[in-house]
């Protein structure tokens, strides 16, 4: 479903600020896989996600989604294939537009825009149906401006908007990190429910090792621009956070895991 081949990315090449963000990354994701990604700050997780979404272009290498080479496609040109939820709950929705208008935009993902009404009764019916699964009562507030919702509600709505059109790939970059624990848990449960329902091919970045182990069916660890661990489902099920730390040390040839670089939760 997703093939990342020999991707390299260097920021500010040739200057004192040169930073190698990705080194020769190879990743092959099968349809229906739910990958969790962990790694220290600056490891290159967001950079990898942005390569897939088209926010950044690789210096070298190629990216294919569902057999289609998207390496040189602009973000908006490949958006039809990709659903995304950002870390910032404010980032995924338009605050001065209503819930139904936001959903209408999501429904039109990657399609040609027309001069037909953005929202009509038929769409409203669909939106109500979809909003019900969030259990936030939003199905009765279609005409509320999204800016009036809480952070958790906005993130739940962002998640719905990213998924209900069943994208080929779902990208979640620390999408629960800005929420309080209770709300974060709610979004985690919702994520599992939705991914399961549509069998979405998903890549989720998290700083929470428990989350990374409990969710999904494959785990990647990034370090210094490379994938240093790729743990399959069977092995992942048996692991505890301590095992992950040990695996990291082995992979790095004895380098210990400095806790200040890796937020443990």
Stretch binding other proteins (CB under 8 A), from 1-9, 41-49, 102-110, 218-226? 102-110
d(CA 138, CA 29): 34
Task: Print the binding letters for residues 30-69 with ligand ATP: x by CB under 6 A, - otherwise.
Answer: ---------x-xxxxxxx----------------------
Cα separations in angstroms, 227 against 7, 63, 92, 113, 222: 11, 16, 28, 39, 4
* DSSP string of 27-74, one letter each residue: EEE-TT-EEEEEE-TTSSHHHHHHHHHTSS--SEEEEEETTEE-TT--
For residues 178 and 88, is the Cβ–Cβ distance under 8 A? yes
Q: Tell me: does residue 12 bind ligand ATP (CB under 6 A).
A: yes
Q: Tell me: does residue 77 bind other proteins (CB under 8 A).
A: yes
For residues 178 and 87, is the Cβ–Cβ distance under 8 A? yes
Q: Tell me: does residue 116 bind other proteins (CB under 8 A).
A: yes
- Out of other proteins, Mg ion, ligand ATP, none, which partner does residue 47 contact, by CB within 5 to 8 A per kind? ligand ATP
CB of 225 to ligand ATP, least distance (A): 7
Task: Print the binding letters for residues 157-176 with other proteins: x by CB under 8 A, - otherwise.
Answer: ----x---------------
- Out of Mg ion, other proteins, ligand ATP, none, which partner does residue 77 contact, by CB within 5 to 8 A per kind? other proteins
Q: With the C-alpha atoms ordered 141, 142, 148, 150, is the resulting torsion angle positive or negative? A: positive
* DSSP string of 5-22, one letter each residue: EEEEEEESTTSTT-EEEE
Q: Which is nearer to ligand ATP, 46 or 163 (CB)?
A: 46
Work out the end-to-end distance of the chain between its first and last CA atoms, rounded to an integer number of angstroms. 31
Q: Which is nearer to Mg ion, 27 or 103 (CB)?
A: 27
Q: Which is nearer to other proteins, 21 or 107 (CB)?
A: 107
Q: Note the residues at the interface with ligand ATP (CB under 6 A).
A: 11-12, 19, 21, 39, 41-47
Q: Note the residues at the interface with other proteins (CB under 8 A).
A: 53, 74-77, 79-80, 82, 84, 86, 90-97, 101, 104-106, 108-111, 113-119, 161
């Amino acid at each position: 479903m997703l093939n990342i081949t020999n991707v390299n990315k260097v920021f500010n090449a040739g200057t004192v600020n040169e930073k190698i963000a990705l080194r020769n990354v190879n990743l092959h994701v099968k349809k229906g896989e739910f990958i969790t990604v962990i790694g220290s700050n600056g490891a290159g997780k967001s950079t990898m996600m942005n390569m897939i979404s088209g926010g950044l272009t690789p210096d070298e290498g190629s990216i294919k989604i569902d057999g289609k080479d998207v390496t040189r496609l602009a973000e908006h040109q490949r958006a039809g294939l990709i659903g995304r939820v950002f870390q910032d709950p404010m980032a995924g929705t338009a605050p001065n537009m209503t819930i139904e208008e936001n959903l209408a935009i999501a429904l039109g993902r990657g399609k040609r825009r027309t001069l037909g009404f953005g929202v009509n009764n038929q769409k409203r019916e669909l939106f109500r149906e979809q909003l019900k699964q969030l259990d936030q009562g939003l199905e009765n507030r279609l005409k509320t401006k999204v800016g009036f919702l809480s952070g958790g509600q906005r993130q739940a709505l962002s998640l719905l908007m990213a998924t209900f059109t069943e994208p080929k790939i779902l990208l979640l970059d620390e999408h629960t990190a800005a929420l309080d624990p209770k709300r974060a848990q709610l979004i985690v449960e919702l994520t599992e429910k939705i991914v399961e329902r549509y069998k979405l091919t998903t890549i989720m970045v998290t700083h929470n090792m428990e989350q990374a182990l409990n969710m999904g069916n494959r785990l990647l660890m990034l370090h210094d621009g490379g994938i240093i661990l790729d743990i399959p489902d069977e092995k992942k099920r048996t692991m505890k956070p301590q095992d992950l730390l040990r695996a990291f040390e082995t992979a790095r040839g004895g380098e210990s895991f400095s806790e200040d670089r890796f937020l443990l939760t």
